[in-house]
A and B are shown apart, each in its own frame.
Chain A
Amino acid sequence: MAKMNMLQAINSALDIAMSEDESTLCFGEDVGHFGGVFRATSGLQDKYGKLRCFNTPLVEQGIIGFANGLAAQGSRPIAEIQFADYIFPAFDQIVNEAAKFRYRSGNEFNVGRLTIRAPYGGGIAGGLYHSQSPEAYFAHTPGLKVVIPRNPYQAKGLLLASIRDDNPVIFFEPKRLYRASTGEVPIEDYQLPLGKAEIMQTGSDITLLAWGAQMEVLQNAADLAVNDGVSCEVIDLRSILPWDIETIVNSVVKTGRLLVTQEAPLTAGFASEIAATIQQECFLHLESPVARVCGLDTPYPLALEKEYVSDHLKIYEAIKRSINY
């Protein structure tokens, strides 16, 4: 064990992945000698050489197209998109190519070895184009897996599982936590399961569900609610696609209430999918409507970021509304 921040945990996972398999490559804009703008790939070029860890030209569709080709060939590419806000030029390569490669070829070919990493989410005064949470776009695409960690321990274990998973995985890294979140992380190799939520705190009155950096916010709200005598069950979804319906359903059957929070805008966010599924599966157990606490349906703002985001106070109020419904 060692104390690490999220960047160090990610770097450690990449190091393990590159050391165990010569066909594993890390590349993207500024990823080489510089180690990435956040330094997640620091030291990897020195250790594994320029052929396996390198800068690419500034072209996201090229980075993911190149990665798709490498994965089809049998290499294990880990492609970095510098910010999730800039993943859209690669949307076609992800949605029409990576996600459909196996299905359209009848499994003659696949790009299951592909992992895409991207710093994601707000809270760093990044405004419109350094703050977005685009998970819902990709959750709408069969063939992809989407994973978002909440802390350094989760980041290392989930990233190693994503790299080794035989499906294309998009791994969104909440960049607000890169240096802010620290914790004890095993130095050695370990994996955490994809597609499995984790119950962080058990409770009986309401289920609180989120992922990534919102977990911290959610926990703060749960701590406020406990003073009102509300017992919250707090769950980290961890994988957006495929998602762990069973764990959430079991929890809501027990508590009778669900609140989902996300940084992304309200309309057609992943919280909406969860709400629809839970009303389908738990209709007769629900004591109140499923609550969604999300960003506004606006681009991600700068000066008014604090007002825009779903913070612990907005969540706390929504908990009370749900309990008093």
Chain B
Amino acid sequence: MSSDVYNDGPVVHKPTFIDGSSVEIPQLKILKQDGSIYEGSDMPDIDEALAIKVYKTFAFHRVLDERMVASQRQGRLSFYMAALGEEAASVGGAAGLQPQDMIMSQYREQGALMFRGFSLENFMDQMFSNKKDLGKGRQMPIHYGSKELNYITVSSPLGTQIPQATGYAYGQKLRGLDAVTLCYFGEGAASEGDFHAGLNMAAVQEAPVIFFCRNNGYAISTPSDEQFKGNGIASRGVGYGIKTLRVDGNDILAVIKATQIARKVALKENAPVLIEAMSYRLGAHSTSDDPSGYRTREEEAKWQANDPILRMKNWLLAQNWWDEEQDKMLFEKLREKVLAAVKVSEKINKPHIDTLITDVYDVPSAQLKSQLEQVKAHINKYPEAYPFTAGKF
């Protein structure tokens, strides 16, 4: 029992509650919607090259989301999740890191992977679960991952990556690496037990992990006021003894600044940091969702006026780093490229039947081999019922 909490702090002789809402948490804002900078702002480390890279990632993100939602509507793709309106959280997080830092994401952070160089073909092959998919066609669309780009493959269960990020970061610390782990999750996932487990263990075990909460107001249809009480997710960080920062999640400069400083603190102090980025999910939860059933057009319009991509464009124009003609060209070109890529990837064959049993273990067990042989014999008997694999092994 060495903690100070047993003895420190003021003493009272009448019961005195501490109100949960008494914790005041400031919100970092650097960039205004018109592209100007708030006076007295601490700017992030960002030069023209990084700024243009971030903006091009934004453009790619928006075009890909737009085209893939359309492809799903046309019946070419089974499922998609767009990140309309909250791209700054994922792209800005990645832009504030170093390439050797690990990213563990939830499922709406494709922007971070784009920033790191996951190619259009990589995205397409995963979404069409063809044989070129790095994940071997095993997971639903948007479950990307890349060892080369230090981005752990997405898994559907919510919040499971949070204690894993703590462990990953602890391993980085033990090896003395100049690297941290950044872990994305939503405000809904912060209700999961794994969130509390991961934050508490990170604080106690002193792991250099950045917890990055994208608070976008909704968990599918559930608004955040039916998800948690108290002062947002940031107040939880304070409770766990974690350095916590709230930022405007639609302000790319604030997000990059917050991540850059969080990385420094995590490495220098061997300690976790929590960032809560306040934003809004302008689109549906997924292509299987329809937000008109649970929120108003007026509410959406309010947030449309806060578009993070337009905000950054205004800043770039003001810097004279970008112009309208370049902008038009970029979006046009991207739309053409994405359409062409869809046409290529959707025609690539499914993975080989043998990949049904590989990677369950490091080496397939005797039982698995025998089960696969039985399936193959069955396919040979009814080839017309299994067109993807019949005659291909």
Q: Which residues of A contact B133 (CB under 8 A)?
A: 106
Q: Knowing A70-B170, A73-B172 are in contact, say whether A109-B147 is a contact too (CB < 8 A).
A: yes
Q: What is the interface residue range for chain B against chain A? A: 35 or more
Q: Which residues of B contact A246 (CB under 8 A)?
A: 366
Q: Which residues of A contact B152 (CB under 8 A)?
A: 72, 105, 109
Pairwise interchain contact A65-B135, C-beta atoms closer than 8 A = no
Contact of A106 among B102, B138, B171, B196 (CB under 8 A): B138
Query: Please, how many residues of chain A have a CB less than 8 angstroms from a CB on the other chain?
Result: 48
> Does B314 sit within 8 A of A, measured CB to CB?
no
Pairwise interchain contact A97-B359, C-beta atoms closer than 8 A = no
Which A-chain residue is minimally distant from B160 (CB atoms)?
A97
Pairwise interchain contact B174-A66, C-beta atoms closer than 8 A = no
Pairwise interchain contact B160-A104, C-beta atoms closer than 8 A = no
> Does B260 sit within 8 A of A, measured CB to CB?
no
Pairwise interchain contact A142-B163, C-beta atoms closer than 8 A = no
Pairwise interchain contact A59-B200, C-beta atoms closer than 8 A = yes
B119 CB to closest chain A CB (Å) equals 15
> Does B393 sit within 8 A of A, measured CB to CB?
no
State which residues 159-180 of B face A: CB under 8 Å: 160, 162-172, 174-175
Q: Which residues of B contact A59 (CB under 8 A)?
A: 193, 196-197, 200-201
Q: Which residues of B contact A96 (CB under 8 A)?
A: 155, 157, 160
Q: Which residues of B contact A71 (CB under 8 A)?
A: 167
Q: Which residues of A contact B102 (CB under 8 A)?
A: 73
Which B-chain residue is minimally distant from A54 (CB atoms)?
B205
State which residues 55-92 of B face A: CB under 8 Å: none
Q: Which residues of A contact B147 (CB under 8 A)?
A: 108-109
Which A-chain residue is minimally distant from B162 (CB atoms)?
A65
Q: Which residues of A contact B164 (CB under 8 A)?
A: 65-66, 68-69, 72, 97
Q: Which residues of A contact B194 (CB under 8 A)?
A: 61-62, 65, 92-93
Q: Which residues of B contact A25 (CB under 8 A)?
A: 174
> Does B227 sit within 8 A of A, measured CB to CB?
no
State which residues 24-79 of A face B: CB under 8 Å: 25, 51-52, 54, 56-57, 59, 61-62, 64-75, 77
> Does B360 sit within 8 A of A, measured CB to CB?
yes
A134 CB to closest chain B CB (Å) equals 19
B166 CB to closest chain A CB (Å) equals 5
> Does B93 sit within 8 A of A, measured CB to CB?
no
